[in-house]
Amino acid sequence: MSGSETPRQAAGLLPLHSTEDVRAEGADVAILPIGSFEQHGAYLPLVTDTVVACTIACEVAAAHPVLHLPPLTVSCSHEHAAWPGTVSISATTLNAVVRDIADSLSRSGIGALILLNGHGGNYVLRNVVQESESNGIRMALFPGTADWDAARARAGVQTPSHSDMHAGEVETSILLHAHPELVRPGFETSDFLADDRKHLLTLGMEAYTDSGVIGRPSMASADKGKELLASLVESFGEYVSLLSGRGTR
């Protein structure tokens, strides 16, 4: 595929179950993929975080008894606003949308929700989960730092997590494995590190990178992406057990 061609849409990312499928499954835990619509350099699409979240969701839903919800595709990407195409909503709006979804699930008999977050800038999700116990529905946020650490170790990811911030080895590896049609040429020569990002929230990404990349995508591979996903599927079982008392199928 040349750099000027538009990649095909990634297939298989949305849940296609019917209401009768949901009735038969009888899941008491739902998962909500949360992505973003933000720049990921010149070689990954704006929907990268959503694709990653949905890919993980598809994998874990195939292995664990959960209701797989469609994704939230726009979230808090304000630090990427300097690049064309990036769109954000406020943290207040994201909080409200997630709470409304949780309330709706609760009314339908599902008492637990796992937020499967694909964008590190969605800081407000931690507070949503923190407050959930007092709001009548149990929540968890996945993957956590320990889950990513285990996945990175299993996959042999070489870039430290702090350095692999954006459009780097992990994200590119997952797409190379699950949706290689979305990865354009150029990732092999786009490495850029900016470990000193002390004022990121104040100054945004543009203060630390011209390309939008902070990481080492040249180290990415489809094999690493496969192992990253396999590890996350295993880690997810603990969350299901915690919220429902049920394990893997």
pLDDT at 136: 75
For position 9, what pLDDT does the model report? 55
- The dihedral built from the CA positions of residue 65, 231, 220 and 35, taken in this order, carries a sign that is positive
pLDDT tens, residue by residue, 137-168: 899 999 999 999 999 999 999 999 999 999 99
| pLDDT, position 180 | 97
Specify the pLDDT at position 6: 47
Beta bridge partners of 33: 116
The tens digit of pLDDT for each residue in 168-186 reads 999 999 999 999 999 999 9
Residue 4 pLDDT more than 60? no
Buried b (16+ CB within 10 A) or exposed e, 121-143: bbebbeebbeebeeeebbbbbbb
pLDDT digits (tens, 9 = 90+) for 218-235: 999 999 999 999 999 999
pTM: 0.93
Q: How confident is the model at residue 247 (pLDDT cuts 50, 70, 90)?
A: very low
Domains of the chain are 27-243 (3.40.50.10310)
Asked if the model's pLDDT at residue 88 lies above 80, the reply is: yes
Q: What mean pLDDT do residues 118-122 have?
A: 97
Contact 226, 170 (CB under 8 A): no
Under 8 Å between Cβ of 125 and 72:
no
